[in-house]
Structure 1
Amino acid sequence: MSKRTAKAPEPRAPEPQAPAPEPAGPRTALTLSRRRLLGTVGAAGAAGLVVGGAGGALGTAAAHEEGPAAALSSLGSTEVPFRDDRAKQQAGITTPLQASGHLVAFDLAPGSDRKAAAALLRRWSRTAEELMAGRTPDADTGVALDAGPSSLTVTFGLGHSFFDRTGLTKHRPDQLDPLPDFSADALDPERSNGDLWIQIGADDALVAFHALRALQKDAAGTARLRWQMNGFNRTPGATAHPMTARNLMGQVDGTNNPKPTDADFDRRIFVGRDAEQEWMRGGSYAVVRRIRMLLDDWEKRSRHEQERVIGRRKDNGAPLTGGSETTPMKLDATGADGLPVIPANAHARVAAPESNQGAAMLRRPFSYHDGFREDGAPDAGLLFVCWQADPLRAFTQIQRKLDRGDALSPFLRHEASGLYAVPPAAVPGGYVGQPLLEG
């Protein structure tokens, strides 16, 4: 979590699972490590269901082609390219979810100007490329010397205040205007926003920490830590067969996330070629929310009550109108009493694209557990990260609808928030954000 809280628990070791085809996706480019060519790639699939107006995506189980032994041995050898000719976006957006992650924000130090920011992003890009390839940068701590890249991704974003501090205010996109206030917000400003933001994900907790430490050291003298949060997801291979995971409320969570194969995926998630700010074309906007779940209150509710709050069955994630997890909800279905089978304020109904003029966002969060509060309640929930081409037309539109009447909201507390412009991937020999800083 933040710099004043304990780190998240380390993911459990994966269990063997049956062979299954690797999830397809035009933007998920995975290759074997140059260090360890150990067989097929295993990766958790990215998926997510909106949770508390922000949403929670937990990964589906790993898919492997060579059986359990290959699945276990190849977990560390999976490499995600820092830049990919087929996908101009940064890694960590459509990349399958990893088991361990860190979110961290920095503020530029006094006296750090546009030139200093450019030098920092150049260092960060170089370090990220080395680490994601399974190589060791200079002056390394040695934490991950014996590990492969383990699906490591590092993603960089720029906050609203970055543009004022670097004299680039006129190049700040309108999409970075501050998010509106919502009635469920109880935001801590010390754990929100920031000039620079980094998302780190890996299938090994030591590899993820290693990247965090290396990037923090690179920032010395130029940027200071503002806040840092630790998260986790299900480890690839932890289930007997591929399946959608559950969130900390025990709900199947990850059914209706947009898919890269959808015809309108790019339009919804990535900035178009006609964007006013040319340097953001092909990039995306990330909304980050720390959402604490009131698990003690939730767990006192019966299974029937929980299902009506969500609008889906707890055992298999199917809508209350019947079918399987992937069966479309019948929002107009009524029961013998004449009332909607899926209650009017059920979370799945209120958050559905059909209820929000088609608005959708790619949810890719981590769960977190930062110990226990003074009253003994778990300080646990969701480190929500969502991606969209325009936050006003996606996150803000959906959150406003949820704010007006979502049955799940009483069990959630939104405690931190951030909005970041995430530029496209660096060109060969360049660094993330170079067109903005040198244009």
Structure 2
Amino acid sequence: MSSLPSSEDKPATTSPGPAPSGMSRRKLFGAAGVTAAVVGAAGAGALAGRASAAGAVTGGLDKPVPFRGEHQAGIVTPAQDRMHFATFDVTTESRADLVAMLKEWTGMAERMTAGQEAVHDGAVGLNPYAPPADTGEALGLTPSQLTLTIGFGPSLFLKDGKDRFGLAGQKPQLLEDLPKFPNETMDPARCGGDIVVQACANDPQVAVHAIRNLARVGFGTVAVRYSQLGFGRTSSTTREQSTPRNLFGFKDGTANIKAEDTDTLNQQVWVAKGDGPDWMTGGSYMISRRIRMRIESWDRTTLLEQERVIGRQKGSGAPNGLKQEFEELNFDIVDNKNEPLIDRYAHVRLASQQHLNGIQILRRGYNFTDGSDGFGHLDAGLFFIAFVRNPATQFIPMQMELARRDLLNEYITHTGSAIFAIPPGLRDGDYWGSTLLG
């Protein structure tokens, strides 16, 4: 494992890399006199609360996160409040074009995470006779702790039996499409992808801007397969963060792995040398699942039943039968009928490391709402994201157990799914994918 300091642990200062343009978003905004634009495709939901998020300048919520380090940022970085998740299909069959795009994306990502314009072309994009080099909606905004995390799907290595880029021999054995689980109704348009980019920030417009500009520059080499906007993180990734709530109103991710748990991260999240191909050492595997919640049915369910289904108290977050949120689950506490207070099929019991023989995952999901389904029901739920060292021995057994027996299944269904190999962080001079593509 590299001895480089992790991008997750460094102080929030601008990281080294390609020479910046010297003009911050705010300076460029003043020089150009440009009014920040709202991305129409993002919709009102994407930008709801943008002003309050942008105004959160205390506690470093507006500061940059270092782009380079041992691990990619956006994994154990303190989970930001907003997300724009996008997957791409590679439309070229030229390896050289793919590498060129990834190099360009890397420079853009480093600039945007530092709070600068996406592309610097010597004229800062102000040529009136050419499209702007930056789309402009983040001009004047702070870095907002933007992180950009990239990964590669199974289809980049081998698609329909074809090795498009000479990468089949570098495909990790663990990088396989997830099996079909019970209680899922998959939309193929929301599954898979050759490349993923996860943009997280405390201002939704900053996250949307990042994905928009990468997609714009990638045109002709990649095409967006699907994307998902998320708000309200559903897990904490550091001990300083309070536990958030999901759209069912329950605290979510109480037992999540935290950035401070370095031994657990090494055991459960980071790929070690010898786990697979060398290019993955220091990386991880990302699993994404779009989980639709049956909001209306849940809202008609009694509090007592809701707490039985989850296994925690709705107000405090404490396990049933206990008083404090962070008390360890106790499966031996029973009621006056000798029934366990944490039901045998409660969600927290089935997902716990105690039940799963020590299996843990690093969760980093977000709430979502995508309007209604045409029948008066909210299309809303959890966009689940997890990082693991070994999908076959961690996520798959956990999800199989939940899919078969979880009481929560009455109120949810999985509609999208993907898995990606997440390369390690970047050293000086590296580009996204350089450990794989050379």
Please indicate, yes or no, whether the TM-score normalized by the shorter chain is above 0.5.
Answer: yes
Q: Cα offset for 1:26?
A: 8.7
Letter in 2 for 1:307: E
1:231 correspondence with 2:214: no
The answer (yes or no) to whether the contact 1:122–1:432 under 8 Å persists in 2 is yes
Partner of 2:98: 117
Letter in 1 for 2:419: L
1:163 correspondence with 2:145: no
The answer (yes or no) to whether the contact 1:76–1:204 under 8 Å persists in 2 is no
The answer (yes or no) to whether the contact 2:353–2:360 under 8 Å persists in 1 is yes
Partner of 2:399: 399
Tell me how far apart the structure 1 counterparts of residues 169 and 203 of structure 2 sit (CA, whole Å): 41
Q: Structure with the greater relative contact order (CA < 8 A, sep ≥ 6): 1 or 2?
A: 1
1:243 correspondence with 2:242: yes
| Of 75-84 and 132-141, the range deviating more from structure 2 | 75-84
Tell me how far apart the structure 1 counterparts of residues 148 and 379 of structure 2 sit (CA, whole Å): 26
Alignment of 1:111-260 (within 5 A): 111-136=92-117, 137-138=119-120, 139-164=133-158, 165-233=164-232, 243-260=242-259
Tell me how far apart the structure 1 counterparts of residues 137 and 292 of structure 2 sit (CA, whole Å): 31
Q: 1:152 to 1:388 in 2, by over 3 A?
A: same
Alignment of 1:6-405 (within 5 A): 27-31=8-12, 72=57, 77-84=62-69, 88-109=70-91, 111-136=92-117, 137-138=119-120, 139-164=133-158, 165-233=164-232, 243-262=242-261, 263-405=263-405
Tell me how far apart the structure 1 counterparts of residues 8 and 183 of structure 2 sit (CA, whole Å): 34
Letter in 1 for 2:83: G
The answer (yes or no) to whether the contact 1:26–1:260 under 8 Å persists in 2 is no
Q: Cα offset for 1:71?
A: 5.8
Tell me how far apart the structure 2 counterparts of residues 145 and 432 of structure 1 sit (CA, whole Å): 25
After superposition, the C-alpha distances for 1:151-200 in whole angstroms (9 at most, x for unaligned) are 00101000001012322111100111121110111111111101111100
Tell me how far apart the structure 2 counterparts of residues 134 and 371 of structure 1 sit (CA, whole Å): 31
Q: 1:307 to 1:76 in 2, by over 3 A?
A: closer
Tell me how far apart the structure 2 counterparts of residues 424 and 334 of structure 1 sit (CA, whole Å): 46
The answer (yes or no) to whether the contact 2:351–2:398 under 8 Å persists in 1 is yes
Q: Cα offset for 1:32?
A: 5.0
Tell me how far apart the structure 1 counterparts of residues 57 and 113 of structure 2 sit (CA, whole Å): 19
After superposition, the C-alpha distances for 1:329-374 in whole angstroms (9 at most, x for unaligned) are 1112222111111110000111101111111100001110011111
Q: 1:358 to 1:289 in 2, by over 3 A?
A: same
Q: Cα offset for 1:30?
A: 4.3
1:190 counterpart SS class: helix
Structure 1 segments unaligned to the other structure (5+ residues): 1-24, 38-69, 236-240
Tell me how far apart the structure 1 counterparts of residues 228 and 426 of structure 2 sit (CA, whole Å): 25
Letter in 2 for 1:113: S
The answer (yes or no) to whether the contact 1:76–1:147 under 8 Å persists in 2 is no
Tell me how far apart the structure 2 counterparts of residues 309 and 354 of structure 1 sit (CA, whole Å): 18
Give the alignment's TM-score, normalised by structure 1. Answer: 0.81
Q: 1:285 to 1:317 in 2, by over 3 A?
A: same
Tell me how far apart the structure 1 counterparts of residues 192 and 10 of structure 2 sit (CA, whole Å): 30
Kindly name which structure, 1 or 2, has the bigger radius of gyration based on alpha carbons: 2
The aligned length equals 373
Q: 1:389 to 1:242 in 2, by over 3 A?
A: closer
Letter in 2 for 1:402: L
Identity %: 38
The answer (yes or no) to whether the contact 1:351–1:398 under 8 Å persists in 2 is yes
Tell me how far apart the structure 2 counterparts of residues 359 and 311 of structure 1 sit (CA, whole Å): 19
Tell me how far apart the structure 1 counterparts of residues 280 and 388 of structure 2 sit (CA, whole Å): 13
Give the alignment's TM-score, normalised by structure 2. Answer: 0.81
The answer (yes or no) to whether the contact 2:152–2:196 under 8 Å persists in 1 is yes
Tell me how far apart the structure 2 counterparts of residues 106 and 358 of structure 1 sit (CA, whole Å): 34
1:344 counterpart SS class: coil
Tell me how far apart the structure 2 counterparts of residues 173 and 434 of structure 1 sit (CA, whole Å): 16
Tell me how far apart the structure 1 counterparts of residues 58 and 265 of structure 2 sit (CA, whole Å): 33
Moved over 4 A (4+): 32-37, 73-76
**RMSD value, Cα:** 2.1
2:145 counterpart SS class: coil
Q: Cα offset for 1:259?
A: 1.8
2:405 counterpart SS class: coil
Partner of 1:64: none
Q: 1:74 to 1:258 in 2, by over 3 A?
A: closer
Tell me how far apart the structure 2 counterparts of residues 73 and 344 of structure 1 sit (CA, whole Å): 43
Q: 1:366 to 1:242 in 2, by over 3 A?
A: closer
